[in-house]
Structure 1
């Protein structure tokens, strides 16, 4: 949500930070239901602060969601319910996991060097990656490309969406919460 607000020019760090901090902590940020409920409860406050962000709960294939986010040019995002064990190929991860999808551009606040590929940092020498394209390790993430956000400890926060994302998302029946900026009031 911070990235959507920054893209739209309404984000003021420090002023609304306490509000956005709530959504990435337990218990609010643990399930799509709790995030959706928080957005309903705080919708009026968000609007009063200039955040015209709407949400919609859907079930859609991962590739369609990545295209939808990319087509939004930074004004759209998605939160996907995924199986962390499948996403990271690790039995130590939780079955209940969530990741975000957003667009990487100058307003995203994401440093190119902090975006990890499948086998490490994605920035550096390699082929350029266009929005919605399959990404190979070592590729340069172009502005406008979709990146995955995983806020949980012990994983790369920003990364190129791995090939296992679709399978991990399918295991939760493609449960998704769409977020999109609706303009200024």
Structure 2
């Protein structure tokens, strides 16, 4: 649409009505860009481990597997750019925030194995997105070592769900 045509319509409709229609069109365009079903097929790559005590781990390894593969052969491995920090939520609960710089999003149709300090592991499976239109991909459910976990934009689970790494 040309500027003169838009200006002519704005004058005919009244400026406030035209502005309302324009805002509605822009919001519709923004929401429709959120992807098919509202979920782009990946989730926020941040992992939150609640009830963490002590310092952040010095090392972390995240292995990515084909879903339902029984963790036999990783497709990708991430350890470079590991960043761990301790935070406290509103209720005073400590948690570890785990990120891998350069890998801010991960596919929902994969399984993951997170190993911290080569001592404790968390197997993340059954990741199901909500498919609601939103920024990122809010998750509906996920499991860590077979237990249902808290979800949202990141996978969040308790430290007690971890198991010792088998030699």
- TM-score, with normalisation over the residues of structure 2? 0.27
Structure (1/2) with the larger strand percentage: 2
Structure (1/2) with the larger helix percentage: 1
| Structure whose CA Rg is larger | 2
